[in-house]
A and B are shown apart, each in its own frame.
Chain A
Amino acid sequence: DGGITQSPKYLFRKEGQNVTLSCEQNLNHDAMYWYRQDPGQGLRLIYYSQIVNDFQKGDIAEGYSVSREKKESFPLTVTSAQKNPTAFYLCASSRGQTILTNEKLFFGSGTQLSVL
């Protein structure tokens, strides 16, 4: 079955620690995204990538980093510089480069990150 796989489902971060959230898709989509969701707030864009080896900052990129070395993978690292990392993180993908198309997003099942 085609889809987006996020892992782990739950993740705990210690003070000063970097953690990496995994996102893999087998939909052959060009564009991938990372969103953060806090209770009572809309989804906020962290980073997005339209093609391999290229990515752009979203609205809340500080304290996060990404890479896009393969079309199917878009890992997100939450660094120690992110002082309030507790949130639900969602990875998404869409067909084609959305600057050129108007495609809907497909979402993974999310990773809940908490601080110990």
Chain B
Amino acid sequence: EDQVTQSPEALRLQEGESSSLNCSYTVSGLRGLFWYRQDPGKGPEFLFTLYSAGEEKEKERLKATLTKKESFLHITAPKPEDSATYLCAVRETSGSRLTFGEGTQLTVNP
């Protein structure tokens, strides 16, 4: 059974304080790993897809990396507007559905 575990559950940062969120996964074969951002009371918004170990993608202050067992979402010099819940999801080689982690709730204080 596919498993996706995100840590920490919640993270509080000061503006400008860089950090990383972790997504550990267990699948028989990875077809894709997806990162989403979700604001309170809204639907998740797509950020990145990673397909193979060693791949990296960047968008503004966010950088996602992938190894064979986990993915990291690095946040460089965060701003208060980066506050949200970040969700990780995986799709295995033989499947069509996504399995989501429980998310990391990020709060960036000014």
A interface, CB within 8 angstroms of B = 4, 6, 31, 33, 35, 40-45, 48, 50, 58, 88, 90, 92, 97-99, 102, 104-110, 112
Contacts and interface: CB of A to CB of B under 8 A. Distances in A.
A104 B46 contact: yes
Contacts, number: 61
Contacts of B9: 40
A7 to B, nearest CB: 13
B62 to A, nearest CB: 16
A42 B4 contact: yes
B79 to A, nearest CB: 23
How many of chain B's residues touch chain A, expressed as a range? 20 to 34
Contacts of B97: 33, 45, 48, 58, 98
Interface of B: 4, 9, 31-32, 34, 36, 41-46, 49, 51, 87, 89, 91, 95-103
A99 B96 contact: yes
